Amino acid sequence: MTRPGRIAPVQVRNGDVVLSCTAVGDGPLVVMVMGTGSPGRVWHANQQPALLKAGYRVVTFDNRGIAPSSECANGFTMADMVADTAAVIEHFGAPAFVVGTSLGARITQELALARPELVRAAVMLGTYGRTTPLLTAYNEGERALLDAGRELPAPFFAAITAHMNLSPATLADDRSARDWLDIIGFGGQSSTPGVRAQLDLPERDQNRLAAYRSITRPTLVVGFADDRTLPVHLAREVADAIPGSRYEEVADAGHFGYLERPEAVNGLLIGYLDSQR
């Protein structure tokens, strides 16, 4: 089995913005885009090792807003984040397979639309093409807490995060639930100015489904059946909008499905990328 070992960070620039990246392995390039408030190293737990074993070169990076990449606390746009991802791909050698989750999946969709020549094929996990009243209210609540300089009590934050992002099948097992609560508690709350700027992206509430009908690159959309954060019908809508897109659904998985059900997710991911080589 190929193991990443100690990985030295690589800095990629997009204008004045510095993006902290890691690259490991040989073979076709896979660039992975993480969601709101999370560093690129989250992919290292499960997806990066599986992709390395399958013969891919894997690049992960911290989106702007997530240190040590530039935090850009004064604000930025989705187009800026798309341009960042494009800069990473161009640095390591386009075209690339691009894999994103949550906000990272939205960035991946917009990249496939704006810069199709950079995208060999795209995989979007737990994605969306429009907002909902509940999602808008949830995001407004997150922003209000940060603006007030407040954090939730740590046990309550862990419980809410687990409830919103994990499957009831996972939480029904008391030992598993305790383990996840410990993991979430250890990670802490993302309350930096850069994360606040990610939450304030002006395009978050736009309905982009009609635009996605113009995506021409091969795409796989993976929905997580028990996703409360971005309910699975939103992922289906994206797959329905993109011509020729393939849709798959992972059972007993919430919004953190790539962590919660890694074998199922990795099987779909690698199977699809192999089919596009």
Would you give the distance in Å from CA 157 to the centre of its chain? 21
**Where are the domains positioned within the chain?**
10-151+189-275
* Res 3: pLDDT: 44
Q: Dihedrals φ, ψ of 65, to 5°? A: 105, -20
* Res 1: pLDDT: 34
| Count of C-beta atoms within a 10 Å radius of residue 74 | 7
* Res 184: pLDDT: 95
Q: Which of 142-146, 185-189, 234-238 has the highest mean pLDDT?
A: 234-238
Q: Is 227 a catalytic site residue?
A: yes
- Is the pLDDT assigned to residue 181 strictly greater than 50? yes
Q: Is 163 a catalytic site residue?
A: no
* Catalytic site residue from 62, 84, 226, 227: 227
- The mean pLDDT of 79-99, rounded to a whole number, is 98
Predicted confidence band at 6 (pLDDT cuts at 50, 70, 90)?
low
Which DSSP letter does residue 45 get?
Answer: G
CATH of domain 10-151+189-275: 3.40.50.1820
* Catalytic site residue from 20, 38, 102, 245: 102
Question: 73-82, 146-155, 223-232, 266-275: lowest mean pLDDT where?
Answer: 146-155
What are the tens digits of pLDDT across the range 15-50?
999 999 999 999 999 999 999 999 999 999 999 999
